[in-house]
Structure 1
Amino acid sequence: MNPIETRIESVTVYTDRALITRRGEAQLSTGASEVLLAGLPANLDTDSLRASGRGEVGVRIIGVEARLLPLTEASNESAREVEREFNAARDAGSALDSESTSLENRSQTLQKLSSDAARWFAESLSKGESSLDNVTALLDYVSNQTRQLDADKTSLEAKKRDNAALQNALSERLAQFQYGRRPQQRGVAVLVEANGEGKWELELEYVVSNASWTPLYDARVSTNAEKERFELGLNALVTQASGEDWKDVALTLSTARPGLGTLPPKLDPAWIDVPRPVYASAPPAMAMPSPPMPMASRAKRSSSDEAVAFGGAYAAPQSAPEPIEAVQVEASVESDGSTVEFALPHRLGVPSDGQTHRVAIATREFPTKFDYFAVPKRVEVAYLRTTATNTSGLSLLQGNVSIFRDGVFVGKANLKNTAPNAEFTLFLGPDEQVRAKREMTLRETDKNLLGSQKRVHFAYSIELQNLKARSVKVVVQDQIPVSRSENIKVKLRGSNPEATTGELGLLNWEQVLAPNEKRIIRFDFGVETPRETTIVGLTD
């Protein structure tokens, strides 16, 4: 029987693999028969195969088995197409190498021209054959050409990186076809028994490796006094090199981790012993090969057959006089408490190229509290901080966060795993309008020469300043030294206002500053040591 034509209908991507659902139509006759599928990826997990179906006739599925099928002409043509793409990418890489050589020659020419300019100018000036304007024009030309050359080199390096990534992806796909040219390919046979003749739609599920997704967040913060807001947008970076392109599929992203298996890890004995002499050993015996590892268990399938989106879709372009704001795509969310699945509301494609492809999942606004955090021992400006509550009802996964404050990109941070209704904190960058300046006001050594101990007294002041037109809360952190020797004693002598002490000598103050208010924090401490002791690490 010839293989039936199938298409990938949906994909569920996990953190280290993907569950593929293929569908195809078969014409069945009464009795037992086989339905063949060909051209499947070589790295599919054969233990994960599962078949189901529906159609015009009643069908009993007897079994599902992976096979090596004769290579079809269509597969040969696919291999030739990948080979043509690979050769084209390799030729493009050679052209880029030639361009790189040309740029290097230009660079050497400009360097020689620049070094010869001064000598040429001196000789020409002594002969009265040149002027300062001529030399200035030459130097300007060299400078402009150098800037253009640097820009061309930067652009070329980006093209070479993209070309190398494309060649690697095509090389992997071509290597998968090499096995097929023997002449066999990966296929699956579904053994069925039908009670009549008619059309039957087969659905086959299997798990492939070389596929993953990671979360990426966009934090958008408005610090407007009238409407402070904190929005967190969740995106996904999807990567796959499974050997088959996902074209126009229903994509679901899952936080489940089927790769961990069903059994908890086992602890081996933690042996301790006394040192034993080491003797020269005889040559090691030939090691027996390790037994093959068992195949990973089949990935859990989503309990929902259809993904229902909530939220909006992209606004359709209209020829209206007023511009229409774009609406963010929202994925539908399903959670069973331990795992979360995001079903994207639109079909999309992810090629098997090993590169990351970004897709939007959802955007949520969280209740938040803003304050400022200052470490004046290190820097004089305070850092804006937000403490938000995860009211989404879902766990937020650990991931990188791109932070936009009042529409301006200010940097990146990292979000830790956050349970529902738990708080999480993000720093949003420095704010020049909230300042904290630290100054040493006293360093005095005890003048008493009769005792065996030496005492040094340190005092500091911290000037806080709020240049904003509204009140702000500032958390100030400083420290006193921490002794590692029993001969060195450190004692906080005073603090105004009183500080909250933490571990390892940390001091914290919480202050609320009115608009344009200045406030002074003072603290002092003493260090006591034997008189002849040298202290290491005591700095301002």
Structure 2
Amino acid sequence: MALLAETTPADAHLVELDTTTDSRITNVSLYSSKAEVSRLYKLTPVAGANKLVISGLPNALENDTLRVEGRGSGTIHDVSVAYAHPVKPLTTSNVLTALIAKKEEHQLAIGRCKRCLEGLQKYLDTLNVQHVDVTQLATIMETYEMTTKTFETRIIALEKEFGEVEKAMAVERARLQGQRTTNGELRTVATVGFFAENNGDVEIQLIYVVGCATWNATYDVRVSTEAKETPVHIMYKASITQSTGESWTNVPLTLETATPTFGVALPPITPWKLSIHKPHVPPKGNNLNTFKQRVVSALGVEKDSESFNESSIDDDVDYLDDSPSYSFAQVTSKGDLSATYLVPGPITVPSDGNKHCFTIREFDLFGQLTWVSIPKHDTRTRLTARVHNNSQFTLIPGKANVYVDGNFISTIDLPSVGPGEVFTCPLGIDQSIRTVYHPRLSKETKTGFYGKTTTTLFSQHITVYNTKLAPVDGLTVIEQIPVSEDSQITVALKSPDLALRPAAPGEARVAPLASTSHPPT
């Protein structure tokens, strides 16, 4: 079917289509903040010029994105989009008017029957033995019984019909109320000029982009400390929200991780000018001493004025810049993170603005579990997993609920992870591993007569208890030893025999002592 930019003739055959009843959604491609919807319409135009007026499209439709495709013998001339102004809501209809009249007729008929029964009863009450022969009494009573039965049966039938009419009126009023609600969100109208070569069935497909539709990735990360090769099980889910005004009922849904962008032209490059830098000369005064006092006040440590130079100021400022730490999963490598997922089976997402979760996939990942404890500051043991995404799915950023051995541990922010990439996932505190930091022992000895040497031997005992049923591999206990900043002070590690990481140039810090051990079972 061809598409030409021509004007539809004024005498074209008019075909009106209501989107809510005359079409169905064939596909929805959902992006992070928009959705592309494909709708299929079936119609039977006449040979020649036809004007298709398609109403009931969502207000969230972006007009510039509307495309029209056709299947059949014909040509599409032009496409235009307009917004139908709100009309006064309908409070009645021909059907409702007829039902109200029928209800009134039934009310009058029931009233007549009841009055007839009352008249018969009054007539019977007026009978007197002086005026009625005893031989006629049986006939009178039989006639009274038959007549009252007729009216009572008629009243029962009328009351039943009256109830059915009231139910029909309630249904019609609900329909009118539903139209008033729907018309407020579905007031976009598309007009399509179509020239049919002959009479026959034609299919028209509208493809458009709407806002007010989003999806976010959420995860359930389940870790088993007993599994060896694939200890990490991930449930990949999509949280979908849409308030476009149209209900997505039993539609095939495709999730897109790419974000549609507009205006992607290259940015302009402005001249990059160079000039001689003129350093700023501070005014004379004791600014350095004032800054020293501020740093000393913040640190609570006093230094000699001779050693308090610019380098010491820089060191102290770096020490003060202690930003808070957060529990984030980190990616060790990056790649192309654009992917497309087809949600299994047709799904239904109503236009209610609520979150609806659907499972994309479940898979097991390779990973290595490590336990780290720094008992000098905290005797609790922290569990971390280094996970390898050996699946073909791209994990986009999202919230992840972490479970370890079936117990909820924490919620973390999972980063973008492509297939084949590795990321670190903090798993919280492992209560089954307990560390005891015993009191430190020290022994001091002095040698020499003129130049005395003082030797202090520190001994620190650390005990780790493993309450798990299986032994733990990959436990790291970190302890500190002092670092000498004076040539007259020498620090030596006697036991265990471990190599220390050399300090970086200009680095003044305590050196960590790390060891790996297997706690007893």
TM range (shorter): 0.5 to 0.7
Instruction: Please say if residues 366 and 391 of structure 1, whose CA atoms lie closer than 8 Å, have aligned partners that are also in contact.
Output: yes
Query: Does 2:429 match 1:414?
Result: no
Residue in structure 1 matched with residue 261 of structure 2 by the alignment: 259
Counterparts of 1:396 and 1:45, CA distance in 2: 29
3-state DSSP of counterpart to 1:392: coil
> Counterpart of 1:3 in structure 2: which amino acid?
E
- Residue 15 of structure 1, aligned match among 32, 38, 42: 32
Percent sequence identity over aligned pairs? 29
Q: 1:177 to 1:421 in 2, by over 3 A?
A: same
Q: What one-letter code is carried by the residue in structure 2 that aligns with 1:474? A: L
Matched, 1:177 2:184: yes
User: How far has the Cα of 1:492 moved from its partner?
Assistant: 7.0
Matched, 1:31 2:48: yes
Higher fraction of strand: 1
More moved, 213-222 vs 185-194: 185-194
Alignment-mate amino acid for residue 34 of structure 1: K
Partner residue in 2 for 1:196: 198
Mapped partners of 1:245, 1:481: distance in 2: 67
- Aligned-residue Cα RMSD (Å) equals 4.4
Counterpart in the other structure of 1:512: 517
Question: Could you tell me how far 1:197 is from its partner in structure 2?
Answer: 1.5
Quote the offset at 1:360 in angstroms: 0.7
Residue 53 to residue 500, structure 1, CA distance change in 2 (3 Å): farther
Hey, what does 1:5 align to over in structure 2? 18
2:80 maps to which of 54, 62, 65: 65
Quick one: which of 243, 248, 251 aligns to 2:250?
A: 248
Q: In the alignment, is residue 50 of structure 1 matched against residue 55 of structure 2? A: no
Q: Distance in 1 between matches of 2:46 and 2:490?
A: 92
Work out the CA distance in 2 between the residues paired with 1:39 and 1:508: 71
Q: Following TM superposition, by how much is the alpha carbon of 1:490 offset from its aligned partner in structure 2, in angstroms?
A: 11
C-alpha deviation, 1:500, in angstroms? 5.4
CA distance in 2, matches of 1:505, 1:208: 58
Contact persistence 2:230–2:366 (CA under 8 A): no
Query: CA shift at 1:511, angstroms?
Result: 0.7
Give me the TM-score of the superposition, normalised by structure 2: 0.56
Please say if residues 86 and 184 of structure 2, whose CA atoms lie closer than 8 Å, have aligned partners that are also in contact.
Answer: no
For the 8 Å contact 1:251–1:347, the answer to whether it is kept is: yes
- 1:344 corresponding residue in structure 2: 343
Q: How far off is 1:397 after superposition?
A: 1.1
- Whole-Å separation in 2 of the counterparts to 1:440 and 1:23: 78
Q: Partners in 1 of 2:222 and 2:259 — Cα distance?
A: 30
The one-letter code of the counterpart of 2:16 is P
- Structure 1 counterpart SS, 2:184: helix
Residues 19, 446 of structure 1: CA spacing in aligned structure 2 closer, same or farther, 3 A cutoff?
farther
Whether contact under 8 Å (1:473, 1:510) holds in the other structure is: no
- CA shift digits 1:486-508 (9 cap, x unpaired): 99x99975474536548865636
2:426 is the counterpart of 1:427: yes
Q: Is the 8 A contact 1:31 1:195 kept in 2?
A: yes
How many residues are aligned here?
349
2:18 touches 2:56 (CA, 8 Å); kept in 1? no
Name 1:519's counterpart in structure 2.
none
Using structure 1 for the length normalisation, give the TM-score: 0.54
**Secondary structure in 1 matching 2:416:** coil
1:223–1:44: structure 2 CA closer, same or farther, 3 Å change rule?
A: same
8 Å Cα contact 1:231/1:364 also seen in 2: yes
Q: Assess, with a 3 A threshold, how the Cα gap between structure 1 residues 443 and 401 changes in structure 2: closer, same or farther.
A: farther
- 1:16–1:259 Cα contact (<8 Å) kept: no
Q: Distance in 1 between matches of 2:222 and 2:199?
A: 59
Which of the residues 216, 219, 242 maps onto 2:218? 216
Deviation per residue, 1:288-341 (Å, 9 max, x gap): xxxxxxxxxxxxxxxxxxxxxxxxxxxxxxxxxxxxxxxxxxxxxxxx965211
* Contact 1:35–1:190 (CA under 8 A) maintained in structure 2: yes
Q: How far did 1:460 drift? A: 5.2
Structure 2 Cα separation of the partners of residues 238 and 482 of structure 1: 55
**In structure 2, the residue corresponding to 1:16 is in which secondary structure?**
coil
1:47 aligned counterpart, secondary structure: helix
- Structure number with greater Rg is 2
Residue correspondence of structure 1 range 381-400 to structure 2 within 5 A: 381-400=380-399
Distance 1:2 1:409, change over 3 A: same
Consecutive unaligned residues of structure 1, counting only runs of 5 or more, are: 79-172, 275-335, 517-540
Quick one: which amino acid aligns to residue 199 of structure 2? E
Gaps of 5+ in 2: 1-13, 92-179, 279-334
* Distance (whole Å) between structure 1 residues aligned to residue 483 and residue 265 of structure 2: 46
**What is the one-letter code of the residue matched to 2:59?**
A
1:349/1:225 CA distance change after superposition, 3 Å: closer
In the TM superposition, residue 9 of structure 1 has moved relative to its aligned partner by 2.9
SS of match in other structure, 2:59: coil
- Report the counterpart of residue 41 of structure 1 in structure 2: 58
Asked whether the equivalents of residues 402 and 413 of structure 1 are also in contact (C-alpha less than 8 Å), the reply is: yes
1:367 alignment partner, SS class? strand
Q: Which residue of 231, 234, 237 corresponds with 2:236?
A: 234
For residues 47 and 506 of structure 1, the distance between their equivalents in structure 2, rounded to whole angstroms, comes to 63
1:463: Cα distance to partner? 3.5
Cα deviation, 1:106-146, whole Å, max 9, x if unaligned, reads: xxxxxxxxxxxxxxxxxxxxxxxxxxxxxxxxxxxxxxxxx
